[in-house]
A and B are shown apart, each in its own frame.
Chain A
């Protein structure tokens, strides 16, 4: 019997999920707890991961729907040691406080800037309007994203 599999951060993982398991719970059960559950109804964006290059709400996907796909989580966007340029920009601009929405912001912005390294402030704000932050008021997140663009060109 062929086992279903999915790639998480470059590593093939057996898709041993029940039909009703959503993708975020599956990812977290595999040890990638950097992706957070904030609402389970597709509004807050804390669960955002990258699926085949696109930012997606992992609470709105079944794990089984990820069969054969490449998933990148915040852990997969982090170097072995230290911080990526995007992450460093966040740190420099104090773009996080409690850190709970942060992985979703990182994955969303990484997906955006990978496709649109020239995204302007309006576009950045529009894209992260799908990620709710209660702590920062968003201004430093936007500043960090604007600064990080140079590293995606």
Chain B
């Protein structure tokens, strides 16, 4: 499983990186942490002629908490260790703990994960559910893409061959926000068979508002469960309400069947995780 022949460049700034991608017209690929791309190349499922390494581009490594913006080349362990992020948006730190394994988290990056768009990965779902906005740079300049528009399908995004994710912006996260993260995988660190990311705020009467409920895993890309959100908004959360909204939570979604489970199992699992997530916020 040796890598196929390739050449390598490590530019020091974004415009050089973009120029290299543009020159190679789709035959060049960005390498970020390499934790997804290297195995693909070892299996010769990807054979780019040129790898453009973003490691030396300092602009991609910044973290700010106000506004909440994380550079594309920030690694999972940098997110884990960042006190400000953990205080500002505790859900991120919790989800990062579930990403792969210790060694992978020292190299894997936020931008790399989003660009790879694995349906069972946590952070594309985080981005979608939290209404993140990606800043992307290409030969035509910078554009902003809402996460929901960025992810098209399994392993497919709206990123062009000559574009690079620069950073991810998250809306401000109120301190009193209720949230939950539930994931079920075969073993610790494995990709999720199903996962739920949810949050909501409470109005003055303690009723749910602004509910965001995202499902990932058994579907081509993470989706907001809008019917569930609508059923929750304006209501006081209770065990009975939770029971009611988790019925048919995955209705209308195309469930991918594989060795990890049948359609019935995955729908049921999603519902179980949703229920447990909501209950945990009570």
Q: Which residues of A contact B (CB under 8 A)?
A: 19-22, 25, 40-42, 45, 48, 51, 54-57, 59-62, 64-65, 67, 108, 112, 126-130
**Which residues of chain B come closer than 8 Å to A126, judged between CB atoms?**
102, 188
Residues of B within 8 A of A57 (CB): 35, 103-104, 107
24 contacts between A and B (CB under 8 A): A19-B8, A19-B51, A20-B3, A20-B4, A20-B6, A22-B3, A40-B2, A41-B38, A41-B39, A41-B42, A41-B43, A42-B35, A42-B39, A56-B106, A57-B103, A57-B104, A59-B42, A60-B34, A60-B38, A62-B8, A62-B31, A65-B34, A108-B103, A127-B101
| Residues of chain B with a CB closer than 8 A to A59's CB | 38, 42
Which residues of chain A are within 8 angstroms of B188 by Cβ–Cβ distance? Answer: 126, 129
Q: Is the CB of A112 within 8 A of B38?
A: no
Query: Known contacts A42-B35, A60-B35; can you find 4 more A-B pairs with CB under 8 A?
Result: A22-B38, A42-B39, A55-B103, A129-B187
Interface string of B1-33 (1 = CB under 8 A from A): 111111110100000000000000000000100
The yes or no answer to B53 lying at the interface (CB within 8 A) is yes
Q: Which residues of B contact A (CB under 8 A)?
A: 1-8, 10, 31, 34-35, 38-39, 42-43, 51, 53, 55, 77, 100-104, 106-107, 187-189
In the complex, which of the residues A42, A59, A64, A127 has the most CB atoms of chain B within 10 Å of its own CB atom?
A: A42
Report the tally of A-B residue pairs with Cβ distances under 8 A: 84
A-B CB proximity, top 4 nearest:
A130-B101, A19-B8, A41-B39, A40-B1
Residues in B with CB closer than 8 Å to A62 are 3, 8, 31, 34, 38, 51
**Distance between Cα atoms of A67 and B102 in the complex (Å):** 22
Contact A48 B1 (CB under 8 A): no
How far, in Å, is B11 (CB) from chain A's closest CB? Answer: 13
B5 touches A20 (CB 8 A): yes
Contact A41 B102 (CB under 8 A): no
Distance to closest chain A CB from B27 (angstroms): 14
Contacts of A42 on B, CB cut-off 8 Å? 35, 38-39, 104
In whole angstroms, how far apart are the Cα atoms of A130 and B51 in the complex?
27
Residues of A near B5 (CB, < 8 A) are 20
Query: Given the complex, which residues of A lie within 8 Å of B102, measured CB to CB?
Result: 55, 108, 112, 126-130
Q: Is the beta-carbon distance between B55 and A65 smaller than 8 angstroms?
A: yes
Residue of B nearest to A58 (CB): B103
Residue of B nearest to A64 (CB): B8
Measured CB to CB, the closest approach of chain B to A117, in angstroms, equals 16
Q: Decide: A48 near B8, CB < 8 A? Known: A54-B77, A60-B34.
A: no
**With a CB–CB cut-off of 8 A, which chain A residues contact B10?**
64-65, 67
CA distance A120 to B8 in the complex (A): 41
Residues of chain A within 8 A of B55, CB atoms compared: 65
Contact A61 B34 (CB under 8 A): yes
Docked pose: A21 CA to B5 CA in angstroms: 9
Q: Is the CB of A129 within 8 A of B42?
A: no
Q: Are A20 and B34 closer than 8 Å at their CB atoms?
A: no
| A128 / chain B contacts, CB cutoff of 8 Å | 102
Which residues of chain A are near B187, meaning CB under 8 Å? Answer: 129
Instruction: Contacts A108-B102, A130-B103 given; indicate if A60 touches B39 (C-beta within 8 A).
Output: yes
Bound-state Cα–Cα, A48 to B35, Å: 13
B198 CB to nearest chain A CB (Å) = 24
Interchain CA distance A139-B29 in the complex, whole Å: 42
User: In angstroms, how far is the closest chain A Cβ from the Cβ of B150?
Assistant: 25
Complex: chain B residue closest to A130, CB-CB: B101
Contact between A56 and B103 (Cβ–Cβ < 8 Å)?
yes
Q: What A residues does B34 contact at CB under 8 A?
A: 60-62, 65
- Chain A residues lying within 8 Å of B1, measured Cβ to Cβ, are 40-41
Given contacts A40-B1, A60-B34, contact A130 B6 (CB under 8 A): no
